[in-house]
Structure 1
Amino acid sequence: MRIFSNPEQAGHNPRDEFFRGQRVPCFENPTRARYVLEALAARGVPVGSPTHDSTAVLAEVHAPRYLAFLQDAWRQWLALDGANADVQPFPSVWPVRTLRSDVEPANFIARLGLYAMDNGSPLAAGTWAAAKGGADAAASAAHALLSGERAAFCATRPPGHHAGPDFMGGYCFLNNAAVAAQTLRQGGAARVAVLDVDYHHGNGTQAIFYRRADVLFVSLHGDPRTEYPFYLGHADETGEGEGAGFNLNLPLPAGTRPDAWFDALDAACQRVAAHGADALVVSLGLDTFGADPIAGFGLQADDFPRLGARLQRLALPTVMVLEGGYASAELGDNACHVLEGFEA
């Protein structure tokens, strides 16, 4: 299995975020990737840097004006006041129902609100480079499959599955899973499946592919009536237009135990198999771990090899992209357990 990392990831290191109304230290921070890379190194697994530039495929999954804003956002923030180098910008207004989103405001904080679904995804000086490096890793992993590799894993951060066509959110800025899926499509895979096993629904990935039949999106996640992102991820969201029937959500109540979770995973895998996909992209969120501080499922360390083995049984060329998982000290071993289960 090829492993790709993101040398720029540590540059995205904001101090704090807003979590359910309270300002707290960031759960999503560079230690997450460090623990994963250390666990891989301890097992003697080689890790490579990205080999492909994702710029062209990013333009296929994200809106041009959003990409332009994100790439230039920190410079714009500093241009307002040099002292902003030590200040994190947060949005304070959003274009909700009846408000217009087609005109980009001149005010920076209003622009930030236009492109952010929450105020829990703080920007930092290295945000763009880190997010772009993760997208490059996802594109590289997809190219590895197109070159004949059986599987690849992206040990990168920040995560990506909450980032939609023209918005950031949930610690996510660029949608790595969508980049991998689109790269596979452009490389000749007629049909691709994206399977999201993060505790939180991959609303951004769903939004990107919701009207498409060539990319199936399947997600099992915490019930959005009580769990982030709250406003998407219900079972009645099945796709629109050409994409009708190509979106499957399997919401589960907080507190779901492993046996029930694996029953849902089986249902998800059966839908993937029925899609007749040429390749699989897995949004590998590991915040399903019972000790995760911002999630509510009960998987334990010895459940993750079982997850990897179930994914392997699909017998598809597979890209796995690291998403959530905020019990940082355990994240590396949990990720390796999935890979070991897959390869066993």
Structure 2
Amino acid sequence: MKAFHSPDSLLHAPATYFRRGKAIAHLEQPARYDLLLAAARHAGHDIDLASAFGVEPILRVHSGRYLNFLKAAWDRRAEIEPGLEHILPSHFKRPEMQHYPTHIIGQVGFHMADLSTPIHAQTYQAVMASADVALSAARHAASHGHAYGLCRPPGHHASVESAGGFCFVNNTAVAAAYLGDTLKCRVGVIDIDVHHGNGTQHVFYDRDDVVTVSIHADPSNFMPYYAGYGDETGQHRGLGYNLNLPLPHGSGDEVYLAAIEHALEFCQRLGVEALVVALGLDASEEDPNGALAVTTQGFREAGKRLGGTCWPTALVQEGGYLSEILGENLRAVLDGFDSARGL
């Protein structure tokens, strides 16, 4: 399988974040990129650098003012406080508040959903590179049937105008929009990350050109808390085109794989002709998040099921954090996918 990456992914290097009110070492570390790239290379996949696509494909998903904010935020940090090492919100926009502030400190709270997604000096470059990786994978999948994008930072928690959950630009949504535009077909997104893909759901919630399915740990006591429930099925033209499959905490291979089969059947029933897999590996039994218990063999079987369709498919890296088996889990998914396609 062709695997795309960008060394600029290393430019974003957050040190800490707040989890349940406590500052801890950040899970989304540059070492993830090194480990996953080494695993793909060691498995014999065809490694290639991503192409530059510019902002136009990203504007199919995100607003112009949001991208302008991400680009300018670091250069405006002195307006918040001289000498800042990172940018985080001190106030948050609430649903009843609708005005857009002109000062950067207000824009930070408008566009950033939590305290886990700090902006640093080169965050914007890393974010754009991550989107380029997703777009490169989508373009190759459209013409050659399949590709993997080693995206970092991840993206599936980013909504149209908001960063959060380690995510800035929604790489999965950008890839899905690109595939749909290129192939002129309905695209499916199947998110197998341990966390609900709330950003992707938000992007496509009132649309019927992209079918969104998320398989994740029960969010009632797990991030993102406020979305990811079974009664969220879309609205307006998108009604019936969103499916959430929350799993009991501690679920293993059998439950996880049954959910993937359900997701594939749902996409097939709604006329999907191309697929983006939001490839979170944090459902692993050894992931630091600890919510699900999928084994390496379970990931291999997941790859087989996802590769068992005839749809052009882009696998876009989402979560999956440092553990002794993170690289093995990526190899397992890609090997399972390739075996299903006779590669």
- Normalising by structure 2, we get a TM-score of 0.95
- For the pair 1:7 / 2:7, whether they are aligned, the reply is yes
Where 2:77 maps in the other structure, the secondary structure is helix
CA contact (8 A) 1:199 1:295 kept: no
CA distance in 1, matches of 2:38, 2:78: 35
How much does 1:82 deviate?
Answer: 5.2
Where 1:96 maps in the other structure, the secondary structure is coil
Question: Which residue is equivalent to 2:147?
Answer: 152
CA contact (8 A) 1:54 1:179 kept: no
1:189-247 CA-partner distances (Å, limit 9, x unpaired): 31100000000000000000001101000111111111100011110000101101000
Question: Which residue is equivalent to 1:102?
Answer: 99
CA contact (8 A) 2:11 2:125 kept: yes
Number of equivalent positions: 339
1:76-107 CA-partner distances (Å, limit 9, x unpaired): 114655522xx222212111143x2332241x
Where 2:37 maps in the other structure, the secondary structure is helix
CA distance in 1, matches of 2:323, 2:158: 22
- Normalising by structure 1, we get a TM-score of 0.95
Q: 1:331 aligns with which of 319, 326, 331?
A: 326
CA distance in 2, matches of 1:72, 1:136: 19
CA distance in 1, matches of 2:54, 2:292: 34
Question: Which residue is equivalent to 2:18?
Answer: 18
- For the pair 1:51 / 2:51, whether they are aligned, the reply is yes
Q: Structure 1 stretch 42-51 or stretch 245-254: which is displaced more?
A: 42-51
How much does 1:330 deviate?
Answer: 2.3
Where 1:83 maps in the other structure, the secondary structure is coil
CA contact (8 A) 2:192 2:215 kept: yes
Where 1:172 maps in the other structure, the secondary structure is coil
Residue identity matched to 2:98 = S
Question: Which residue is equivalent to 2:217?
Answer: 222
1:228-287 CA-partner distances (Å, limit 9, x unpaired): 000111100001011010000011121112211211121111101112222100000000
Once the two structures are superposed, the pairs formed by residues 271-290 of structure 1 within 5 Å of their partners are: 271-290=266-285
Residue identity matched to 2:157 = H
1:10-61 CA-partner distances (Å, limit 9, x unpaired): 1100111111111111100101111011112222323111124041111110
How much does 1:329 deviate?
Answer: 3.8
Question: Which residue is equivalent to 2:133?
Answer: 137
CA distance in 2, matches of 1:333, 1:109: 42
CA distance in 2, matches of 1:228, 1:14: 19
CA distance in 1, matches of 2:81, 2:239: 48
Structure 1 stretches of 5 or more lacking a match? none
CA distance in 1, matches of 2:100, 2:140: 40
Question: Which residue is equivalent to 1:210?
Answer: 205
Question: Which residue is equivalent to 1:169?
Answer: 164
Question: Which residue is equivalent to 2:42?
Answer: 42
Question: Which residue is equivalent to 1:93?
Answer: 91
CA distance in 1, matches of 2:203, 2:290: 24
CA distance in 2, matches of 1:38, 1:79: 41
CA contact (8 A) 1:3 1:154 kept: yes
Question: Which residue is equivalent to 2:260?
Answer: 265
Question: Which residue is equivalent to 1:124?
Answer: 120
- For the pair 1:178 / 2:150, whether they are aligned, the reply is no
Where 2:199 maps in the other structure, the secondary structure is helix
